[in-house]
Amino acid sequence: MSSPNAALPGAPHLARDAQGRLMLEGCDLDALARQHGTPLYVYSSASIAGALAAYQRGLAGQPHLLCYAVKANSNLGVLRLLAGLGAGFDIVSRGELERVLTVTGGDASRVVFSGVGKTAQDMQRALEVGVACFNVESEAELELLAQVAAGCGHVAPVSLRINPHVDPKTHPYISTGLKSNKFGIAHDRALAVYQRASQLPGLRVVGIDCHIGSQITQSDPFLEALDRLLDLVDALAQAGIAIHHVDIGGGLGIQYADETPPAADALLRQVIERLHARGHGSKSLWLEPGRSLVGNAGVLLTQVQYVKPGETKNFCIVDAAMNDLLRPALYEAWMQITECVAPPASAPRQRMDVVGPVCESGDWLGRERDLAVQAGDTLAVLSAGAYGMVMASNYNTRARAAEVLVKGDGHRVVRRREQLADLWAHELPLE
């Protein structure tokens, strides 16, 4: 259920003004929707900066590399903002690498290359631009990387991504550290694979890595995974293999409803205390947050098209759909939905499913929501800054949304809305 006067989860820069208008920083969201059209993604610069600052506070005094996970939101405006605030970047594709190079002026020295399916061409390009480290996910990848690096006269800095078999207590689709997941090298194989890596020409072992999942709302899974990594670090030292950095990945959750994830700085204090207690306090701590930096910073604006009563439930049909925001259909994710202009207290509220125009019964943004709306009103889907626009598609031949970045009472379009002709510009008709 939702109410225009309900608390707005996890959104310190989202509030209603005295007239009941929903404001992101100093910008009126209903006005932005009417100026730029809908669906429309809007992001808060201040929210992103504040979230990053919490990590930076927690890491103060500890050698570290803090890399933003580009897959969460890869808009160039967002990346440029984070680069200017001192973040490095975690990438999982050649395309993400090129985005980062675009905003850093070609500097890849603070880039970590993760992902299970790197190709030889991906590796060669990353070696040419000098990424900080490859997080290697399999023995076959290790062999290919050594071959590619030796072939082009480079030495690849490597960290093995270890699968520690730790339950992150999150949705199974975004769990990545269990034996049943496709990610990483089994904990029991780690020592042997590190020994192989230390013998291969073209490779230089620099670190150890794990990433156990996303939307994690407890500290214990991070600490358990860290302990399992440090056990391996000790075993590697006995085998004569030095580890210079420990990478705990990302995955810290955000508040969508009533979740209470630990604050980033509080979590990092626990992590660093554990590092020091285990005798590894001098090692560099690397991590790759994504959702926790941008998730609560964004909203998706959508216009109500119809209010449709039904025999068993009512429907609020909007112009955003599962192609714009896949999380509800994919994960049954709950995201708060609220009116951009608060209706009068006397306005009757109806319980409705908020659905889009795509021809799928799975095309819904929210179920069982209490709303007082009519055609033409603007709704905001909150906490939509991560895994929103990056997962958008053109299903049903629908153009993707525009994106706006706000700063104070000003804003800038950071992605123009697609035009329909863009959708078939690369298709070739039969002669």
Active site positions, annotated = 359
Burial of residue 258 (CB within 10 Å: 0-12, 13-18, 19+) is: exposed
Cα–Cα distances (Å) from 259 to 10, 182, 256, in that order, read 9, 27, 7
Question: Going along 279-349, which residue ranges are E strands?
Answer: 284-287, 298-308, 314-318, 337-339
Taking the C-alpha atoms of residue 54 and residue 237, their distance in angstroms, rounded to an integer, is 33
Taking the C-alpha atoms of residue 91 and residue 102, their distance in angstroms, rounded to an integer, is 13
Helix (H, G, I), strand (E, B) or coil at 134: strand
Selection from 390, 388, 386, 418 nearest residue 402 by Cα:
418
User: Is residue 108 within a helix (H) or strand (E), and if so which, with residue range?
Assistant: none
H helix runs in 239-368, sequence order: 264-277, 291-294, 327-331
Residue type, 64: H
User: Is residue 360 within a helix (H) or strand (E), and if so which, with residue range?
Assistant: none
